[in-house]
Amino acid sequence: MRRIRITVAYDGTNYHGWQVQPGLATVQGWLEKVVAEIESAPVDVHGSGRTDAGVHAVGQVAAFSLRNPIPCDNLRRAMNRLLPRDIRVMDVSEAEAEFHPRFHARAKSYEYRLWRAEICPPMKRLYVCHHPYPLDEAAMVELAPLYEGEHDFSAFAAADEKDALGASKVRLVMNARLWREGDELVFRVRGSGFLKHMVRMMTGTLVEAGKGNLSRDEFLARLSAGFAGKAGPAMPASGLCLMSVEY
């Protein structure tokens, strides 16, 4: 049995997220469908994490086990022939038998993009959040690095079925930066792992600060374990993209 590692890019607009859901189009569902066709048997495809409905990826990592001896390059071509055009397998390689894309991941990087101009070009609309309203961008740039370090991100997490397990919501953020790139405001964050809606709520909190609704102290309070409320709000899924996973 071979262990196969793939890097996947997808436009999440038409999908109900990564994870298989009965009767709904998902990225994992499509990958399992086409690999099963190649293998002539059911195949479980595991990803590095679950992106939400409408979220995009250029560097999602997934893995599965295969008996078929097809060479990696031919497997990539075969998968891309069978997949819809908004999901592409960018790379295929052999992996160690025990490789798991989620449990072995050391860091992930996400980007969230806000389109700041009055008019959002139609070709951009699915990949940004259009926010042409006044923001103190300098304040947002200054606050973004405060996410760095180990914090309890409970206030930045949407309700999840895993909450019943009582798992820690402490996460390590290695790098968090926000900058202007033409008409876009880009927030990039690299961390050990992310909770449900966490990056979207981190961005939303920066936007609230940019509106003048949060002081520096109020911003920092949301990173404390005892904070009673919620941060955010979560920004729309369209602006978020999983950029890379590190091992």
User: What DSSP state is assigned to residue 99?
Assistant: -
Distance CA 68, CA 40 (A): 9
Q: Which of 44, 52, 136, 152 is catalytic?
A: 52
Give the span between the Cα atoms of 136 and 25, in whole angstroms. Answer: 39
- Note if 52 is an active site residue: yes
Q: At what angle do helices 27-39 and 72-82 cross, to 10 degrees?
A: 120
| C-alpha span between 127 and 114 (Å, rounded) | 9
Report phi then psi at 206, rounded to 5: -65, -40
Interatomic CA distance for residues 202 and 144, integer angstroms: 9
Active-site residues: which are they? Answer: 52
